[in-house]
Amino acid sequence: AFRRRDLALRCGSLRSLESSASLLRFERVDKNRRLLCMFNFAAHSQISPPLPAGQWLILEAVGTATLSNLPMFSGFIAVFESP
């Protein structure tokens, strides 16, 4: 449902960020919006790697994920807040 409502998630360009077997990171960007998506597939918590520069605000989170900590099987979608 969230994906259907957000143009950047549906139609935005995809930019892969450094990931691993248990951590998936990417950005979706359209002309008006920049989203950061980060998901932890591990059965343990992980500290979030450094975020792309700028101010980020979480729009949706699963499993109590925050910008700095990803509990097991959690994730978030955050939007870039321009200054």
Long-range contacts: 80-83, Cβ < 8 Å, 24+?
Answer: 80/33, 80/34, 80/35, 80/36, 80/52, 80/54, 80/55, 80/56, 81/54, 81/55, 81/56, 81/57, 82/54, 82/55, 83/55
Q: What is the C-alpha separation between 43 and 52, in angstroms, rounded?
A: 25
What does each of the 83 residues of the chain score in pLDDT, given as a tens digit?
677 788 899 889 999 999 999 999 999 999 889 999 999 999 999 999 999 999 999 999 999 999 999 999 999 999 999 76
The answer to whether the beta carbons of residues 78 and 36 sit under 8 Å apart is yes
Q: What pLDDT does 83 receive?
A: 66
Q: What pLDDT does 42 receive?
A: 97
The answer to whether the beta carbons of residues 14 and 28 sit under 8 Å apart is yes
